[in-house]
């Protein structure tokens, strides 16, 4: 039976489970506990949405994990002149850890150069979110999505004969 909890439907046991603190920073009791950052990014995801994939300043990374069914679309909007990522968004179909990993990834790429964001490793995302070993594939998807979005953007620019490094050299 589900009951209304604010504007969301919450199973009676889930509300109790989420409100308990097994240890500081953890949002669930028992052997399987998620860090409060995972719960925060799941309940309040940042940068959800999508850009026009045909926009030449947008790179789209679409990745999935067939084993668990998670699918992640991460998009970046790049400033042509500077090569900096000025905005990022995501849409993820999957578990809370996948949504949290996507949300963190979009926050981390904003304001950075593309060369810098491709160095973001899944281990950094997993450590930040304190993901359990069984959920490490979620942070791997986020890393792959970032790299795929950058690759897509660079492919668009190459097709147009217009790369960010050429623009920076001209300036």
Query: At CA 112, angle to CA 55 and CA 54, rounded to 5?
Result: 10
Q: What residues act catalytically?
A: 68, 138
Extract long-range pairs of 26-29: CB within 8 Å, 24+ residues apart: none
Dihedral sign of CA atoms 124, 114, 155, 47 in order:
positive
Q: How far apart are CA 147 and CA 130, in angstroms?
A: 22
Q: 51 with 89: CB under 8 angstroms?
A: yes
């Amino acid at each position: 039976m589900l009951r209304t909890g604010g504007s969301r439907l919450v199973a009676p046991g889930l509300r109790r489970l989420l409100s308990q603190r097994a240890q500081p920073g953890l949002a669930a009791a028992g052997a399987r506990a998620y860090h409060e950052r995972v719960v925060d990014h799941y309940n309040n995801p940042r940068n959800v949405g999508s850009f026009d994939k045909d926009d030449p300043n947008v790179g789209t990374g679409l990745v999935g994990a067939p084993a668990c069914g998670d699918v992640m679309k991460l998009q970046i909007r790049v400033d042509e002149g500077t090569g900096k990522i000025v905005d990022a968004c995501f849409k993820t179909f999957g578990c809370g850890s996948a949504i949290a990993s996507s949300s963190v990834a979009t926050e981390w790429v904003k304001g950075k150069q593309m060369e810098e964001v491709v160095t973001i490793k899944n281990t950094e995302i997993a450590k930040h979110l304190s993901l359990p070993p069984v959920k490490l594939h979620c942070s791997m998807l986020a890393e792959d999505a970032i790299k795929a979005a950058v690759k897509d953007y660079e492919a668009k620019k190459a097709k147009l004969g217009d790369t960010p490094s050429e623009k920076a050299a001209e300036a």
